Structure 1
Amino acid sequence: MAFSLAGALVLSASPFTAPIAEAVGNGPGYGGNETINTSILHTYDEMVDFLKTQEAKQSNMELEVIGQSVKGRDLYLVKYMSNPENPTILFLTQQHGNEQLTTEGALEFIKHMGSGKMKGVADNVNILIVPMLNADGAMGDVDFSLEDYVASGDRNLTRYNAREVDLNRDHVNKIQPETQALHTNVMAKYDIDYMIDLHHQGTMSERDGELVSGSILYPTTPNVDPDVLLKSKQLGAVVFDAVDSTGWGHIGKYNGGNAETISRNGIAVEYGISTLLFEMRGMSDHEYEPYVLGQKSNGYLIKQTITALDASVRAIADDSIEQADISFWDTLATQTTRPSDE
């Protein structure tokens, strides 16, 4: 059965009820001490069923197939497009197939979009969501061995696509079918103003001596347009303020490079889209055990995703993003890796 946000957070009414504070940043890593069971995560087929069910329920939601994976799986785009003149934001998840809790959060956000709490918000902003770009990697349906991966259950999940290629290093040459689908049928087709690229990082990054729940970064290529960079930093301010102020979130600055093969940089330059990388703590599966986070942290990571998406949409819809204070970037510490106890 697919993972449930409500079950993970032991919620009663609202998906925005705060998870247990001590779980954030301090949730246990794998360390060989627990089973990492992938059966609690949506499979590709379960995700497709979920999306089609939500499309039938939500009159302003539309599904579009943007292409196919190496193994022939349809790749989906979720659209809330009330007015072509509205500013548009794209949420991109699971370029890396073993980084699935952002997808789980995106699916819960889609459900949230159909609730009364979001009534009228989408009248002033267009929302695009690619909920699983690397469908083959997410299903472990690849042409290389995953025998050393940690997770058990229905499947292993891997960073790479079926050809063992990192999709987030393919945004210049665009060789892989998944990357081609994204660029041809999303980036070049729609007039997108903002993008948040959602990922996962390792478990031991810290800021100010405290383990982070995630990290963010704007485009760092010197070729980015100054206005695009400004708006990227404003988008980051919205996300930082929403998550870091909760009392359970703790965000650092990601230590990222300037290569334009990476979506954060390449898409900002090629299309003039303001981009933000958001890396959540820990991964759903990996061959390197310290990267895998124990499942007791799943709930807060999903909530962190929903919080970021909700805040971004609302800030764009009411134009408050244009007044976002970017001065925090000047003092936000770049995360470092906590030394191992071993």
Structure 2
Amino acid sequence: MRKHPDGKTISRRSLGILGFTSVFAASGLATAPAAFGVGEGPGYGGNETINSSILHTYDELVAELKKQAARQQILELEVIGQSVKGRDLYLAKYLTDSANPTILFLTQQHGNEQLTTEGALEFIKHLGTGKNSAVLEGVNVLIVPMLNPDGAMGDVNFSLDDYIATGRHLTRYNANAVDLNRDHVVKIQPETQALHTNVMRKYKIDYMIDLHHQGATAARDGELVSGSILYPTTPNVSATVLEGSKRLGAVVFHAIDPTGWGHLGRYVGGTAETISRNGIAVEYGISTLLFEMRGMSDHFYDSYVLGQKSNGYLIKQTVVTLTETTRAIADGSIDTADTSFWDTLAEQGSRGEE
């Protein structure tokens, strides 16, 4: 098999099984129904059809963002630039008070990692409406819901013939076959230029969660993970930024790992500042967290693609992550988040599919 750009998987119709209105109930996040852990959901293994039509296309995503902006007085959309193929790149903004701390959620730097985008879109649908809007009195929220639309649409300048999904293919790389999450120092690609010029340098951001997907066989303590997290690991990050990053991870871990359907590990990541988790923390002094969900929406390796029966819980995992970190920043509880779990959180290994 020849070497070429990468990918990952998800589903829009699965949203209905989650009861997202209860996730955003004023009393707090609903307890998940008894179910297998997300990590123990089935891998692809050639045993089912991976149907990309259940995911939002770029045009459908934009249409939904515009519909929500029309419904939610507090939500503003900004076009921050264009992709290689000329697609507008959107920033969803909830800016209530410049004195409030600000968190940025970034999804789909890799076009085949779309379940996080589906979760971010569901989060947007509820954040600025009804009782859920009260949290915005204490925090500003920025969301880039699809930084790599060309990869998400399979509209690229290289072949995707051996990818697995039925329908459109989704690939890790942008149209120029470049990994955007290795372009945060020189910033050559238009997508990374747009992010840095019109988001990172334009807004005062305190926290960022960069949401991705990884392969389907990562495990912690012998059990397949639903996702893995990691703070910046470059030696150039300041102690203050690093501590804020660890607290951000603490909020996520304590919201997901005890649920019964979530199981998180420590991601094994490098120190390169070309990666957003590292580079953005150093360049802008922003506390950052990487969250790698299990499984991808499309790929040419079977072991990277997750069977779609886990889609609903993976989307929910994204929604819970965005909801709880927003809430913790708004009420100040992030400042006292217990980071001691990092001392014992095992690095993920790999476990073959059963």
Q: CA 1:20 to 1:34, structure 2 compared with 1: closer, same or farther past 3 Å?
A: farther
User: Is the Cα contact below 8 Å between 1:8 and 1:298 reproduced in 2?
Assistant: no
Taking the aligned partners of 1:296 and 1:174, their CA distance within structure 2 comes to 37
CA offsets 1:21-75 (integer angstroms, 9 cap, x no match): 2151111111111000000000000000000000000010000000000000000
Taking the aligned partners of 1:90 and 1:12, their CA distance within structure 2 comes to 21
Match of 1:262 among 275, 284, 287: 275
Taking the aligned partners of 2:73 and 2:324, their CA distance within structure 1 comes to 22
* Partner residue, 1:49: 63
* Partner residue, 1:61: 75
1:78 to 2:71 alignment: no
* Partner residue, 1:132: 146
User: Is the Cα contact below 8 Å between 2:247 and 2:339 reproduced in 1?
Assistant: yes
1:154-303 mapped onto 2 (5 Å cutoff): 155-303=168-316
Taking the aligned partners of 2:353 and 2:224, their CA distance within structure 1 comes to 13
1:14 to 2:28 alignment: no
**How far does residue 235 in structure 1 lie from its aligned partner after superposition?**
0.3
User: Between the two proteins, what is the percent identity of the paired residues?
Assistant: 74
* Partner residue, 2:27: none
User: Is the Cα contact below 8 Å between 2:139 and 2:329 reproduced in 1?
Assistant: yes
Taking the aligned partners of 2:242 and 2:31, their CA distance within structure 1 comes to 33
RMSD: 1.3
Could you tell me which amino acid in structure 1 is paired with residue 59 of structure 2? D
Where structure 2 has 5 or more consecutive residues not aligned to the other structure, the ranges are 1-10, 24-29
Runs of 4+ in 1 over 3 A off after TM superposition: none
Taking the aligned partners of 2:218 and 2:99, their CA distance within structure 1 comes to 40
User: Is the partner of 1:83 in helix, strand or coil?
Assistant: coil
**How far does residue 140 in structure 1 lie from its aligned partner after superposition?**
0.2
Could you tell me which amino acid in structure 1 is paired with residue 258 of structure 2? S
User: Is the Cα contact below 8 Å between 1:19 and 1:300 reproduced in 2?
Assistant: no
Taking the aligned partners of 1:5 and 1:70, their CA distance within structure 2 comes to 31
User: Is the Cα contact below 8 Å between 2:227 and 2:291 reproduced in 1?
Assistant: yes
User: Is the partner of 2:142 in helix, strand or coil?
Assistant: strand
User: Is the partner of 1:50 in helix, strand or coil?
Assistant: helix
**How far does residue 13 in structure 1 lie from its aligned partner after superposition?**
5.3
**How far does residue 307 in structure 1 lie from its aligned partner after superposition?**
0.4
Report the TM-score, using the length of structure 1 for normalisation: 0.96
CA offsets 1:69-122 (integer angstroms, 9 cap, x no match): 000000000000001111000000000000000000000000120333413110
Where structure 1 has 5 or more consecutive residues not aligned to the other structure, the ranges are none
Taking the aligned partners of 1:13 and 1:59, their CA distance within structure 2 comes to 20
Taking the aligned partners of 2:174 and 2:34, their CA distance within structure 1 comes to 35
User: Is the Cα contact below 8 Å between 2:15 and 2:315 reproduced in 1?
Assistant: no
Match of 1:94 among 108, 111, 115: 108
CA offsets 1:225-263 (integer angstroms, 9 cap, x no match): 100000000000000000012121100000000000000
Taking the aligned partners of 1:117 and 1:299, their CA distance within structure 2 comes to 24
1:3 to 2:17 alignment: no
CA offsets 1:176-200 (integer angstroms, 9 cap, x no match): 0000000000000000000000000
Q: Would you say how many aligned residue pairs link Structure 1 and Structure 2? A: 338
Q: CA 1:340 to 1:48, structure 2 compared with 1: closer, same or farther past 3 Å?
A: closer
User: Is the Cα contact below 8 Å between 2:37 and 2:226 reproduced in 1?
Assistant: no
1:94-133 mapped onto 2 (5 Å cutoff): 94-133=108-147
* Partner residue, 1:319: 332
CA offsets 1:152-180 (integer angstroms, 9 cap, x no match): 02x00000000000000000000000000
User: Is the partner of 2:46 in helix, strand or coil?
Assistant: coil
* Partner residue, 1:147: 161
Could you tell me which amino acid in structure 1 is paired with residue 22 of structure 2? S
Taking the aligned partners of 2:15 and 2:225, their CA distance within structure 1 comes to 23
Q: Decide which moves more: 101-110 or 116-125.
A: 116-125
Q: CA 1:302 to 1:44, structure 2 compared with 1: closer, same or farther past 3 Å?
A: same
